[in-house]
Amino acid sequence: MTGKNKGLFQKVLNYETISYLIAGVLATLVDLGVFTLVNEALSRSGKLDEITAVMIAQVSSWAAAVLFAYITNKLLVFRNYDFSPSHLAAEASSFLAARALSGLLVTLVIWAMVDLAGIDEYIAKLVTTVINVVFNYVASKLFIFKK
């Protein structure tokens, strides 16, 4: 490997990107787990139509994953240990705003895929998860946990 390629390799595969991917996989498991539990419970109850159950499951799983992601990104990925109230308020609100934007985008896309295109809700969930991970890493790296 040449010096130039080695430098690029080390820049891309470093502690931050690897730990983000691990935290992202774990947050995705939280997201998918909560989505599945809520969707199955609501679907089996028979009290709601399919799209309402999917939307409630989506919002619930998003909220659980955001909380998990904030904690793991702050402490493990970006190693930000500033717990001053003003810093936490600014950081948490930026994180929540970015995740709300990505959550809205993903919710609209999953709704369109399931309700308008008739795609299976679990396939739609997997497709939107990929979109979500990329968007959230860029937002966290460039705007929220910047050094």
List per-residue pLDDT tens for the chain, 147 residues long. 666 666 766 777 889 889 988 998 999 899 999 999 999 999 999 999 999 999 999 899 989 999 999 999 999 999 999 999 999 999 999 999 999 999 899 889 999 999 999 999 989 988 998 888 888 888 888 888 876
Query: How many domains are contained in the chain?
Result: 1
- Coil, strand or helix: which one is 83? coil
pLDDT of residue 8: 67
128 contact partners, CB below 8 Å, separation of at least 6: 106, 109, 110, 113
Q: Do the beta carbons of residue 105 and residue 135 sit within 8 Å?
A: yes
Q: What are phi and psi of 47, to 5 degrees?
A: -90, -15
Q: Do the beta carbons of residue 143 and residue 102 sit within 8 Å?
A: no
Query: Tokens representing 74?
Result: 């702050």
Looking up tokens 């309402």, which residue turns up? 52
Specify the pTM.
Answer: 0.74
The rounded distance, in Å, linking the Cα atoms of 19 and 25 is: 10
What is the per-residue DSSP string for 14-62? SHHHHHHHHHHHHHHHHHHHHHHHHHHHHHHH-SS-HHHHHHHHHHHHH
**Domain limits for position 43:** 3-144
